[in-house]
Structure 1
C-alpha cells in the first residue's frame, strides 16, 4: 500500500532538510507554491508544512513564511503530551518490531492495572528520521476485548487515540508521566546507544468513561536528537 500523498511530499522535504541540502534558515515554499508545484489542494499543502513544523524541522512565522529550523529538533512539550494530537505521536517513519496478542503479564513496561492473564494487543514500534537514525521506541498495550481487530490496521501509521475515536471507544481521561530512565541492553541496541545511557521516557495511561484502562503506552527518546521546551504567552487575555 503506497503512502498518502501528503506523507510522500513531507518525507521528500524532510529528507532534504535532514541531509543538509536545505540548511537552517532556508525558506520553504508557501502553501500556494506547494499547491502549484505538486498539483495538490490547500488542505494537503497546509498539512505538509504543519507536520514539518510539528517534527521540529521548520519554524513558521506569520507573514514571514516557513524556515528550516536548527539541526537539533525542538519539541514543544505542551504539544508533545497532548492526547488530542492527530497523526503519529512522534512524526517520522515507523518500523513495527512486534505486534501480537499476549497475556498482560508479558508486556513491557508492566501494566499493573491489568490482570496478568488478560489478553492484550502488544505493539513495539521503532521511529526513524530521514537518515534512518533511530529516534524513539514505542511500547503500546491495549486490552484485546476493547479493540479485537486492532492488528488488522496499518500499524506503521496507527495512532491509538485516533483509532479509539474512529471506533467510538468511550475514552475519557489521559495522564502523562515524564521520567528519566537508564537504557537496558535490548532498548539500547534498538536505539543505537550504549546500555546505561539516561534517556527521557514518556508514559501515557488512558482510561475509559467507566474507569477501566484503555491503553498503556511508553516512549523512549534517543538522547541528543530532541530538545524540549515549553512556550506560553504572557499577554493578558
Structure 2
C-alpha cells in the first residue's frame, strides 16, 4: 500500500496560540522566573475569550512546568527546565496531546504491520494499519519528542482524513463508540537509531526515555500502539503526592 504524505498544515486553536505566545515570552527571558502572568480575567479581556479558554491556557502552562499557580496569589513563572507530571503524561484519559506545544505531522500512511517501528504486538504481519509519526517542538523549534501511533486500519478506516496535528486517539475512539477496555504503559530506555536521531536533532546512539502505550478493546484485540521518544535534557519528570493524614 502506498504512503500518504501531505502538508497537514492548519492554524492552531486560539487557546494554543495564546499559550504558545506566553511560553515564547517565558523561554526568551522576557518573563523571567518569578514574573506574574495575567489572571484568567485579564486574559479574557486581552484576547476576548471565555473563562474556560483562559483557564486552559494557564493550566497547560502549569502542566508543562513553566508556571506555578497559587490560589489567591496568581500565576508565576517557574524556575528551571520544563517539568512534566508523569502521572499526567501517562494518563490514557487525557483529552489533549500528552506534550503541549507545537506539533508537526511528519508522515501518515497505511502500511503493513510488519513495516511499523516499533513493532506492534498482537497483529499479523500483513494486517493493514494506520501509522502516524509526529514531532513535538518547544518555542525555540527544538524537537522535544517523536511520537509513533499505530491503529488497525479496520478499526479506523477514515483516520487519515482527520486533522491529525493535535488528534488524540482515545477521545477519537470514544467519540465513535469504539469499545475500549484497558490501557497499559511502559517506560524504558532505548538508544537512538540514525533516522530517529536526525528527527530529534540528536546524535545516533544517545540513550533516551521511551514511553509506550498499548490499548485494547473489550474483546481483547489491539486498538492502538503508541510510542513516544523523548529528547534528553529538555524535560524533567516528577510525581507529586500528598502525604498528609487528612
Q: Do both proteins adopt the same fold according to a TM-score greater than 0.5, normalized to the shorter chain?
A: yes
Q: Which residue of structure 2 aligns with residue 194 of structure 1? A: 203
Range with bigger deviation, 59-68 or 26-35: 59-68
Select the residue among 52, 56, 64 that pairs with 2:65: 56
- 2:204 is aligned with 1:170: no
2:218 equivalent among 209, 214, 231: 209
Separation of aligned partners in 2, 1:70 and 1:168: 43
Residues in 2 aligned to 1:129 and 1:185: alpha-carbon distance in whole angstroms: 22
- Runs of at least 4 residues of structure 1 off by over 6 A? none
2:35 is aligned with 1:26: yes
Name 2:5's counterpart in structure 1.
none
Q: What do the CA deviations read for 1:108-141 (whole angstroms, capped 9, x no partner)?
A: 1001211111000000111111110000000010
Aligned to 1:180: 189
Q: Which residue of 2 aligns with 1:4?
A: 13
Residue number in structure 2 paired with 1:146: 155
> 1:80-91, aligned counterparts within 5 Å?
80-91=89-100
Partner secondary structure for residue 25 of structure 1: coil
SS across alignment from 2:35: coil
Q: Distance in 2 between matches of 1:195 and 1:171?
A: 37
Following superposition, the deviation at residue 171 of structure 1 comes to 1.1
Q: Is the 8 A contact 2:16 2:101 kept in 1?
A: no
Q: Whole-Å Cα distance in 2 between the matches of residues 106 and 197 of structure 1? A: 24
Count of equivalent residues: 237
TM-score (norm 2): 0.94
Question: Does 2:76 correspond to 1:105?
Answer: no
Q: Measure how far apart 1:40 and its partner are.
A: 1.1
| DSSP-derived class of the 1:96 partner | strand
Distance 2:223 2:101 in 1: 25
Distance in 2 separating the partners of 1:152 and 1:17: 35
Q: Once the two structures are superposed, what CA deviation does each residue of 1:176-211 show, in whole Å capped at 9, x if it has no partner? A: 000111111111111111111111000000001111
Partner of 1:161: 170
> Any unmatched runs of 5+ in structure 1?
none
> 2:160 and 2:80 mapped to 1: Cα distance?
36
Mapped partners of 1:136, 1:186: distance in 2:
14
Please say if residues 155 and 223 of structure 2, whose CA atoms lie closer than 8 Å, have aligned partners that are also in contact: yes
Task: Name the residue aligned to 2:130.
Answer: 121
TM-score by length of 1: 0.97
How far off is 1:30 after superposition?
A: 0.7
SS of the residue aligned with 1:155?
Answer: coil
Match of 2:143 in 1: 134
**Which residue, 223, 229, 238 being the options, matches 1:220?**
229
Determine the C-alpha separation between the residues in 2 that align with 1:9 and 1:160: 24
Measured on the aligned residues, the alpha-carbon RMSD in Å equals 1.0
